[in-house]
Amino acid sequence: TYEAYYDTVLDITWLADANYARTSGYDSDGKMSRSEAMTWAENLVVGNVDTWRLPTLSPLDSVAFSTGFTYGGMSDVGYNISAPGTMYAGSTASELAYMYYVNLGNMARYDISGVDTGCFVSASDSCLDNAGPFTNIQAANLSMWTDTSYPLDSTRAWSFRLGDGAQGHNPMSSERFAWAVASGDVAAIPEPETWAMMLAGLALVG
């Protein structure tokens, strides 16, 4: 019954419905190009809030994006970014990675050595074992858009795949899903004890 959840660590509010573009009737399946997703989020009004946007990300090392693929979360491309036990464990650089690995505690399709963990069987049996209190999180083999452009190619943007925990980039013209967030606590409702224990850092927004 809640419209959003406040992340006390990232200081952002996540829309409770991760595919609200489809649920609201804005788009038939929720898959949009990057520009369409940006337009949707920027014009979205939910709970009298009109400051919604796409999740963002910044370089893991706080200096420059590392674009070489790694399994161990040492680069901005690959698996286990911000996951426990990695060089940048708990990093908040990628809002979607932090949600997937830290808030929800999901594992990656491959461990830090590149060994298949076996968690991804299909879109309906993916590595997204814990969706928390959220609905309609898309675990298919399609990514979620971010609002951050890829530095080496102006036609691509960063994205994160919630089906197996991979971060990468895609052509902006391709269709991906979009999860709306808003900076700050848009309702300032206290964190309930039950979810505080299960999802540290998330609070309800009415």
pLDDT at 1: 56
pLDDT at 48: 87
- Dmax (CA) for the chain in angstroms is 46
Residue 193 has pLDDT above 70, yes or no: no
Strands 156-161 and 166-171: antiparallel
**What confidence tens digit (pLDDT) does each residue in 182-192 have?**
999 986 543 43
pLDDT at 187: 65
Q: Token pair for residue 21?
A: 């573009």
Q: Which amino acid is at 179?
A: W
Whether the Cβ atoms of residue 15 and residue 3 lie closer than 8 Å to each other: yes
Residue 86 has pLDDT above 90, yes or no: yes
Q: Which residue has the higher pLDDT, 186 or 179?
A: 179
What does pLDDT average to over the chain? 90
Nearest to residue 97, comparing CAs of 69, 126, 77, 112? Answer: 77
d(CA 41, CA 124): 26
3-state secondary structure of 156: strand
Residue 109 has pLDDT above 90, yes or no: yes
C-alpha to C-alpha distances, 21 to 69, 108, 118, 163, nearest whole angstrom? 31, 26, 31, 19
Sheet holding 166-171, edge to edge: 69-70, 77-79, 166-171, 156-161, 144-149
**What confidence tens digit (pLDDT) does each residue in 131-157 have?**
999 999 987 778 999 999 999 999 999
**In this structure, is the dihedral angle defined by the CA atoms of residues 169, 172, 176 and 179, taken in order, positive or negative?**
positive
Cα–Cα–Cα angle for 87, 197, 199, rounded to 5 degrees: 55
* Mean pLDDT of the 165-171 span: 97
Q: Token pair for residue 62?
A: 């706080």
What is the percent of the chain with per-residue pLDDT over 90, rounded to a whole number?
83
d(CA 89, CA 78): 14
Distance between start and end Cα atoms, the chain: 8
- Asked which of 26-35, 85-94, 107-116, 122-131 is least confident by mean pLDDT, the reply is 122-131
* Mean pLDDT of the 105-125 span: 94
Cα–Cα–Cα angle for 47, 90, 206, rounded to 5 degrees: 15
Q: Which amino acid is at 113?
A: S
> Which residues make Cβ contacts (< 8 Å) with residue 115, sequence separation at least 6?
none
This prediction has a pTM of 0.90
